[in-house]
Amino acid sequence: MIAFEGKLSIRKCAFCKYWWDSVNSAISPKGGFGVWEYEPNIKKKCRIWNQERIANSTCNKFECKL
């Protein structure tokens, strides 16, 4: 899936600093500046909710790690 910095599409767990993906294996730059591709079905642990969440999830605690 594709996400754009500064748009609502970036507010996914894959781009959140609380989603535990220390090497950012679920995201990669795509094409141009501010365009990102992410794997929507990867599961990682959320440090706020203390449970696994899929990359495509959202919540009101989101803080962008980019």
pTM for the whole thing? Answer: 0.89
- Give the residue-averaged pLDDT of 17-42: 92
Averaged pLDDT score across all residues of the chain: 93
State the DSSP code for 3: E
Would you place residue 60 in the very low, low, confident or very high pLDDT band (cuts 50, 70, 90)?
Answer: very high
CA angle 46/50/51 to nearest 5° reads 75
Whether 32 shows a pLDDT value over 80: the answer reads no
pLDDT given for residue 59 in this prediction: 93
